[in-house]
Amino acid sequence: MDDDPTILEMLSAFLEGKGYSVASCASGQEALEALEAEPVDLVISDIEMAGVNGFELLRQTRAREPQIGIILMTAYEESHPLSAALRAGADGYISKPFSLRKFSLIFEQAYWNALSRDDWWTRHDDGARDGTHDL
């Protein structure tokens, strides 16, 4: 989720090209509504957004679904350092601008960490059998 349509489209296309199902949201509020409608394995969110920012999205998501992987992104690394994101409960962090290679490494680590959580396989019994998973 990002309020910059260029980044949103780039990441969506990249992940869909890797075979992941992607639901793109342009705001934190839209992401919260999407999370209510359909379960996901991983949330990727910008920190700086109007309304529900990335930290608030992380807080509300963790309260509802603690097993979901969460990656936070920012172009304001000085204002939102890695340590703040990790203390808030993020599984990954990336500062903009970034390469798709760097994003891929952070994404894979956060994704597999989410799949390693105790209740992930119980929650995804149907998807585990057919090999499909949603983001």
Q: In this structure, are residues 18 and 132 in contact, taking their beta carbons and an 8 Å threshold?
A: no
| Strand residues in 28-87 grouped as ranges (E) | 42-46, 69-74
Is residue 135 a part of any domain in this protein? no
Domain of 73?
A: 5-124
Q: Is the peptide bond before 66 cis (omega within 30 degrees of 0)?
A: no
- pLDDT tens digits for range 23-48: 999 899 999 999 999 888 899 999 99
The domain that contains 15 carries what CATH number? 3.40.50.2300
- pLDDT tens digits for range 60-70: 999 998 889 99
Q: Is the peptide bond before 81 cis (omega within 30 degrees of 0)?
A: no
- Residue carrying the six token digits 């930290």: 55
Is residue 130 a part of any domain in this protein? no
**pLDDT computed for residue 128 by the predictor:** 47
Q: Based on the structure, what is the number of domains in the chain?
A: 1
Q: Is the peptide bond before 97 cis (omega within 30 degrees of 0)?
A: yes
